[in-house]
Amino acid sequence: MRSKINSLFVKLMLTFFVLIVPLYGLSVWFTNNSSGQMRGEIERSNESVLLFHYSTLQLELARMTSLLAEYSVDSQLADFSTFAPIMSNYEIDRRLNDILQKLRQMKSSSPYLEDVRYYLPLLNKVVSVRRGIADAPASEWRGLLASRANLRGNVLEYKGDFYLAKATPDSLDPTAAPNFLLITELSKPELAKQLRSIRKEGDGGAFISFEKNHLAVVSDARLQEKFSVFLPEENGDRPGKVIRSESEDGYFYAISDANYQFHLVSYVSKNVFLEPFRRYAFWMRSLTAVSCALIVVSTYGIYRLIHQPLFKLIRGFRSLERGDMSMRIEHRRGDEFGYLYSQFNQTLQRLHALIEDNYVQRIRTQDAELKHLQSQITPHFLYNSLFTIKQMAELENTEDIKIFSDYLGRYFRFMTRDFSKEVTLGEEMEHSLVYLHIQEIRFSNRMTVEAEPLPPECRPVMVPRIILQPILENVFKHGLAQKASGGFLRISHRVEEGAIVLTIEDNGDKLTDEALDGLREKLGRVSDLNEEGETTGLMNVHHRLQIRFGPEYGLSLSRSPLGGLRTEVNLPFHPNQKD
C-alpha cells in the first residue's frame, strides 16, 4: 500500500490537483460573481425596455389628448355644430366634407389612431375617417359618453374598443347632449405591434390593461390566459415605477400611469431568463469534468513518458546481465530517452564488437561501411547548405527557405535512412534531382539545369545507392566552379540493346585534353587499386558498378559538345525484369 502511495503516478496526480484546484476555485468564484452581475444587467435591461415603451405610449396619449383639446375649440367644428340647423343641405354637405378632411389630417398625425370621429347630435350625424359621413343613432354617442363616466382616466372603453373623447360643452351628465363629440379610437394592431417589440424573442410577451384590470391589448394571443391570471393592482402610490413580481414559470414587470389609468406589463419566461445561467452551469460542469479528465490523462501521459522508458531501460540491463548482447531498445520519439537508448544500444554494440571472435570480419565490415559512407554527405556540403539558409534568412526570403529546407530534408532523409544496398533507378534519379535543386538555389544566378524525365519502364531498374550524386558533385566542383554565370548542366538518357545509358554533361571551360586523358587512365585501372588506395567519386562509382554488373558496365568519359566533361553511366536494362 505504501509503495502505491509513493508511486510516481500518484504523486504526479496529486501535484496536478494541488495546482489546478485553487485556479478552478477562483474561476468558479469569478463565474458566480459574473452570473450575479449578468442577472442584474438582465433585470435592468428588461426594466429599461419597459420604461421606454411606457414613455412612448404615455407621450402618444398625451399628444392625442392635446389634439382633441385643440380640435374641440376649432372654429370650423364649433361653428358648424351651432349653425347647422339653419344651413342648407348643400352647405351642410360642404361643411361635413371640410370637417372630414380635418379629421384625416388629425388621424395621419399618429400611427396609434385607428379612427377619428365627429358626432353631431343635432343632426344625428357622424363624420368618421374610416366610415365617412353617415347617420349616427343617439344610442351610439350616448354609449360613448356613458363609457367615459365609468373611468377616472382619459381612456374609455366601448364595445371592446378604446377611445379618447372630448365633448363640447363638457358635462358630467352622460344623458345631456353636447353640441358635438370628438372621438379618437386607439389602434389595437399598432398597440399590439409595440407590445411585440418589447419581447421580440423567446417565450415572453406584453399587454396593456386599463382601469378595471381587464386586458386591452395582448402581444400574443397564446399568452391571454397567463396574463389574465396576473393583473396588476392599483399602484397609485408608485406611478411610473417598475414593479417586478415572480410567478411559477416567469417574471412580470409592470408599470402604471396615473393620468391615463393604464398598466403596461411585460412577461419573461424563466426558461428565457435563466438560459444564460443554465449555460454557465453547464459549461462549469463540463469544465469540471474536462479538467478532471485532463488531469488524469496528463498524469498518465507523463507517467508513460517517464516510467515506461525507465522500465524498458531496466529490462535492457537485465538482458545484459544474462549475457544477451543482441538486445536492442527501440524508441520512436526523438527525446532524451531516445538519446539514452541510442547510447545504450551503441554500448552493447561496442561490447559485442570488442568480444567478437572474428576480428578480421569486424575490420572488413568497418571497411565496407567506410567505403559506403565515402559516397555520402560531406561536412563541406552541409556547411554550404546551412550558410545558404542563413543568407536567405537575412534577406527574409521565407518562401525560398521553405523550398530549400524541404529539398534539404528530402536529401538527408534519403542519405540517412537504412543503408539498403540498392534502390530503384527512379529513386536514385529523384534523389539526384533533389541534390540538383539544392545546388540550383545556391547557384541560381550562375547556372541552369536541364534534366530529361526518366521513362516509366526504366524506373524499376535496381542500381547501387548513390551513383549519380558523386558525378554531379564532380561537375559542380571541377566543371562549373569557376563560372560566374552561364553555367549549364544537362542530364539525358538513351535506351540501347540490353542497356540504358544516362548522360551527364556540362559546359565547363577548364577541362584540358591532358586532364581528360588522366581521368580516363585512372578509370581504366581503378580495379587494380588495393584496399588502402584512395579514389575520387567518379572512380568509386565506376568500381561499384563494375563489381555489381560486370566489366562491360560502368562509366565512360569524353568531351561534351557543350565544352565540358561528358559522363555516361552504362546500366543493364531488361524490360521484363526489375532486378
- The stretch 89-112 carries a mean pLDDT of 87
* pLDDT greater than 60 at residue 2: no
Q: What is the pLDDT of residue 492?
A: 92
Dist CA 276 CA 254 (whole Å): 23
365 grid coordinates: 565490415
Cα–Cα distances (Å) from 510 to 481, 559, 564, in that order, read 10, 12, 8
- The stretch 390-414 carries a mean pLDDT of 84
Q: For the segment 6-49, what is each residue's pLDDT rounded down to a tens digit?
A: 566 677 667 777 777 777 777 767 666 666 676 777 777 777 88
Dist CA 576 CA 135 (whole Å): 113
- Fold for domain 73-186? Beta-Lactamase (3.30.450)
Q: What is the pLDDT of residue 408?
A: 85
By percentage, how much of the chain surpasses pLDDT 90? 6
Q: What is the pLDDT of residue 370?
A: 43
Mean pLDDT of the chain: 77
Q: What is the pLDDT of residue 578?
A: 47
Q: What is the pLDDT of residue 44?
A: 78
Dist CA 147 CA 71 (whole Å): 21
Whether the pTM exceeds 0.85: the reply is no
By percentage, how much of the chain surpasses pLDDT 70? 75
Q: For the segment 147-171, what is each residue's pLDDT rounded down to a tens digit?
A: 765 444 577 778 878 888 888 887 7
Q: Which residue would you say has higher pLDDT here, 244 or 364?
A: 244
Least confident of 135-139, 238-242, 345-349, 464-468: 238-242
121 grid coordinates: 347630435
CA dihedral 572, 575, 577, 579 (to 10 degrees): 30
- The stretch 269-285 carries a mean pLDDT of 68
Q: Give CATH superfamily name and number for 363-572.
A: Histidine kinase-like ATPase, C-terminal domain (3.30.565.10)
Q: What is the pLDDT of residue 503?
A: 94
Q: For the segment 496-540, what is each residue's pLDDT rounded down to a tens digit?
A: 888 999 999 998 888 888 888 888 888 877 555 444 434 467 888
Dist CA 45 CA 264 (whole Å): 16
What residue segments make up the domains of the chain, in order of their start?
A: 73-186, 363-572
Q: What is the pLDDT of residue 234?
A: 46
